[in-house]
Structure 1
C-alpha cells in the first residue's frame, strides 16, 4: 500500500494558489529540481480535491497539463460529490474520503499516493491518514489566496525534522507526519 503524501508548491507567505484560485504564478518557478524528479518517479497515484481538479491549471491546453506539469500519468482519484458527467481517462470520481484514500493507496502500490489540494489534504490529516508532507517554497509573496493548510480554530499536527533541498526555483522541505 502506498504512502499518502501531500505535495504542493507554496509562496513564502503560505499560499498554494493566489486570489480566485489563480495558479499562473507557478509557471515562473518551474525548472529542474531533483526532489521533484524523485517524487514524480515514485508516485503511483494521485488523490485530488474537486476544487483542484476543476480548477485553474496554469498549463491547461498544453502538453504540460495535469499533475506535476504533465510529467506524470497514472490513476487519479478525485474526491467529489459531483462527478463529471462523461468518463475522464485515468480518473475515478469518489464520493467519500475513506474510499478515496483506500483506492489511491491501493493503486499506488509501493509508491506514493500523492494528495493534491489543500482541503483534501486537511481532511486526510484530520483522519490520521497523511504520512508525509512535501512543500516546495517559491521565492514569492502572494498576500492572499488558498493556504497550504487551514483549520478554523487552529490545530496541532506535529511533523518530524525535514529533509531540505535548495534550487534556484524553490527550497523543498520533506516532512514525515508524527502519528
Structure 2
C-alpha cells in the first residue's frame, strides 16, 4: 500500500487531519517535522536558530527519503517540503500526495497565536506574510498534488471523509 502524503501550507491541518485519517484507515501516522526533531534531537526552532534554513531542509530531505522507502502510512509534511523537487519525486514514488489548502485569513487564525513558526517570525504583518508565501508556493503545491481539499470551511472529519472518498475512487 502506498503512503498517503499530506502536503500544503502551514496551518492547513496536515498534522491534525493526518492523525485522524491514520486512525480512520488503521495506519501509522508520521509527521515529518516531529521526525526531524526526533532524529536531530533538537526542535525545529532550534535547528533554524542554530543552523539555519539550509540545514533544516537537508534534515527534512533525509527524513523524506527514508519515509518514502516504506509504505502504508499517513505522512504529514512540513509546509515547505515540496519546494524541493527531489522531495516530491521521493514522496511520489511510494505515495499519493493530497494537498490541503485554506484561505489566508483562516491560516492566520490557526497559526497566529503560535509564534513557533520560523518562517513567520520575521516581523511584519502576519496576513501579508502568509499571502506572499502562499503566492510563491501555489504553483509548486498544485503541480505536486494528486488531489486537493480546501479545509477552510470543512470540519476535520469532513476533510478526512473527502480524502477517503478520493482514495477509494483512486483504487477502483
Normalising by the residue count of structure 1, what TM-score does the alignment of the two structures yield?
A: 0.40
Normalising by the residue count of structure 2, what TM-score does the alignment of the two structures yield?
A: 0.41
Higher share of residues assigned helix = 2
